[in-house]
Amino acid sequence: MLSRQTAVNDRNAALSDLSTKKPFTAIGVRASALRADRILDEAKHTADPIHLIRVFGIAPNTAMHYLRAAHPAQFRSDPIAP
């Protein structure tokens, strides 16, 4: 986990998979689902794909996917989609 102490000192022991997975399993949620929810929430507060790319380290296409989901009225549908 990242904290003020661990951010400046990379000599600490690495976290095990069990120590990071166990808290999420205990509450019945996947870490990836929490991350996706966090990105979507941030996308609801901004319409800037560059912001999402920088904050979450996601690809431009992924950023646009989240923005389309968060602001569907701002994007017109694909005119040639079936």
At 80, the amino acid letter reads I
Higher-scoring residue by pLDDT: 26, 16:
26
Which residue range(s) make up the domain with 62? Answer: 38-77
Return the pLDDT at 12.
Answer: 67
Is 54 a domain residue? yes
Is 20 a domain residue? no
For 20-55, write each residue's pLDDT tens digit. 788 888 888 888 898 999 999 999 999 899 999 999
Is 56 a domain residue? yes
The answer to whether residue 17 scores a pLDDT higher than 80 is no
Its pTM stands at: 0.69
| Number of domains present in the structure of the chain | 1
Is 13 a domain residue? no
Is 25 a domain residue? no
Predicted confidence band of residue 3 (pLDDT cuts 50, 70, 90): low
How is the chain classified by DSSP, letter by letter?
A: ---HHHHH-TTSPPPPHHHHHHHHHHHT--HHHHHHHHHHHHHHH---HHHHHHHH---HHHHHHHHHHH-GGGSPPPTT--
Is 63 a domain residue? yes
Is 16 a domain residue? no
Is 60 a domain residue? yes
